[in-house]
Amino acid sequence: MTHEKILVIDFGGQYNQLIARRVREHKIYCEVKSYKTPIEEIRNMNPKGIIFTGGPNSVYLDNSPRMDREIFELGVPILGICYGAQFLVYGLGGKIEEANDTAEFGRTDCEFDKKSLIFKNLKKKSVVWMSHNDHIATLPEGFRAVGHSEKCPYGAIENAEKKFYGVQFHPEVNHTEEGFAMLGNFLYNVCGCKGDWTMEEYAQTAIREIREKVGGGKALLALSGGVDSSVACKLLAKAIGSQLTCIFVDHGLMRKNEGDEVEEAFAGSGVNFVRVNAGERFLGKLKGVTEPEAKRKIIGEEFIRVFEEEAKKIGKVDFLVQGTIYPDVIESGLGDAAVIKSHHNVGGLPDYVDFKEIIEPLRMLFKDEVRKLGIALGLDEKLVWRQPFPGPGLAIRIIGDITPEKVTLLQDADAIFREEIAAAHLDRDINQYFAVLTNMRSVGVMGDGRTYDYTLALRGVSTTDFMTADFSRIPYDVLEKVSTRIVNEVKHINRIVYDITSKPPATIEWE
């Protein structure tokens, strides 16, 4: 990749992804690397600038994360944030001490020296987000203070000649009023970046690179219809066309019309598109099964079997394409940051497919960047903005045993819910919303008659990471309309409830 590049060195801080995101929002390509990365590797990456993240440790303790001091000899501008600033100071011979009564947490007023390149054209006084137990006690030679708070004389420091900067606060979080602009000043004024990172350009580069890598070889992709695999498919289609075969296993547990939408988007795109309509086969295996984990297991296993059968028909391929995205890479790769997501995707794939190498074309992108790439590639907006959908599909949204009738019933009800949420323009605000067919029936009255029919539950959550979630406050009039339509239009549902639990203690899905 020939883009100008910023390197974020991860010291275990909880905001490391956020820093990378902010840099990319400034249209500059950026990668996160562990502090353990060898200096040679860093030099070879030829970064325009380096950012040290925060971290939970005290830099003066024996086993705290530290980098080779050669990092200061590269001639590359450095911005240290929080722990990163302390490491900068410590590494260059200054002193860090426990702050005792000068520790600061949360919103703090700070005053800046506007002559410093990183505060140029910003307000003299603004609010920043502090979170530190330690503080800078003595500056290394060549440094001066360029920002302070009431308790913290070295809130921001610089060695302008060497292009080294440090801030005790977190410019990457929104609570720091001018944080985004401060980062921009570092990137543009100090590192001399131009901001050449656009999705269109990224797409062109990626296409070129994929072509070079694949040559005349064959590639295989498992298409789920989710955002990541759809964007990967579109990218590969543009790059290598009919050298790609994508297999879409339709397990019959997709949302209403979803299978057809996926087919429509890809069948004519120049790739070898294989749709396996395996609905009956999956439902056969699931017959009478009520236990949630058993359902998941059956679907996972069957998925692999179907995929395997199709892959065998194709024979040996050179490349297997996977839709891994950057947060997965960071979470499983760097190891020092806190949260580890438990991935529960259907069909862990590889071992049974005969291939040489894996291609992960989205490996460096965040979710919203994947969507932007999808748009840049001309992928249907419906697919680009698809909300997350669990691999086992509606099987885990039908409580109890699954029958074809129940699947249809849930598909219809869920489609109405989605239509109304979109009509109320809430579809981009609520992160995930869907209907659940409970296994409970209750008495109702319709016309003059008694009914004894199913209760349908509606669920809507707002979340950033799907690890925790809050139930969405969907306006009552929207809920009312959904409820009225569903009981009128979908037979055998006579009662609608709205799930008002958050995660934890509940999970997002019901099973």
Residues within the interface to ligand XMP (CB under 6 A): 296, 344-346, 388, 390-392, 432, 466, 503, 507-509
Q: What is the CA radius of gyration of the chain?
A: 27
Considering 82, 110, 152, 191, which one is annotated as catalytic?
82
To ligand XMP, the closest distance from the beta carbon of 475 in angstroms equals 23
> Which two three-digit tokens encode residue 22?
């902010």
Q: Which residues pair with 222 in a beta bridge?
A: 247
Strands 134-138 and 95-98: antiparallel
How many other C-beta atoms are found inside a 10 Å radius of the C-beta of residue 478?
16
To ligand XMP, the closest distance from the beta carbon of 366 in angstroms equals 17
Q: How many residues does the chain have?
A: 511
> Between residues 82 and 384, which has the closer beta carbon with respect to ligand XMP?
384
Which 3-state string (H, E, C) describes 66-91? Answer: CCCHHHHHCCCCEEEECHHHHHHHHH
> Between residues 382 and 503, which has the closer beta carbon with respect to ligand XMP?
503
Look at residues 504, 509, 499, 436 and name the one whose alpha carbon lies nearest to residue 472: 499
**Phi/psi at 156 (5° precision):** -145, 140
Coil, strand or helix: which one is 359? strand
> Between residues 246 and 508, which has the closer beta carbon with respect to ligand XMP?
508
Look at residues 73, 58, 76 and name the one whose alpha carbon lies nearest to residue 12: 58
Look at residues 499, 341, 345, 342 and name the one whose alpha carbon lies nearest to residue 430: 499
CA distance 308 to 495: 42
Query: Is residue 79 within 8 Å of 166, Cβ to Cβ?
Result: yes
Query: Is residue 430 within 8 Å of 474, Cβ to Cβ?
Result: yes
Catalytic residue flag (residue 170): yes
To ligand XMP, the closest distance from the beta carbon of 416 in angstroms equals 20
Catalytic residue flag (residue 343): no
> Between residues 354 and 499, which has the closer beta carbon with respect to ligand XMP?
499
Considering 26, 135, 170, 251, which one is annotated as catalytic?
170
To ligand XMP, the closest distance from the beta carbon of 352 in angstroms equals 20
> Between residues 481 and 503, which has the closer beta carbon with respect to ligand XMP?
503
To ligand XMP, the closest distance from the beta carbon of 392 in angstroms equals 5
392 prior amide bond cis, ω within 30: no
> Between residues 272 and 501, which has the closer beta carbon with respect to ligand XMP?
501
> Between residues 278 and 346, which has the closer beta carbon with respect to ligand XMP?
346
Chain centroid to Cα 288, Å, comes to 36
> Between residues 436 and 496, which has the closer beta carbon with respect to ligand XMP?
436
> Which two three-digit tokens encode residue 231?
């964007």
To ligand XMP, the closest distance from the beta carbon of 507 in angstroms equals 3
Catalytic residue flag (residue 82): yes
> Between residues 58 and 345, which has the closer beta carbon with respect to ligand XMP?
345
CA distance 289 to 283: 10
To ligand XMP, the closest distance from the beta carbon of 297 in angstroms equals 10
Residues 6+ away with beta carbon under 8 Å from 14:
54, 337, 338
> Which two three-digit tokens encode residue 209?
């690179």
Residues 6+ away with beta carbon under 8 Å from 228:
323, 324, 325, 362, 370
CA distance 61 to 96: 11
CA distance 336 to 8: 14
388 prior amide bond cis, ω within 30: no
CA distance 334 to 316: 33
Q: Would you name the residues annotated as active-site residues?
A: 82, 170, 172
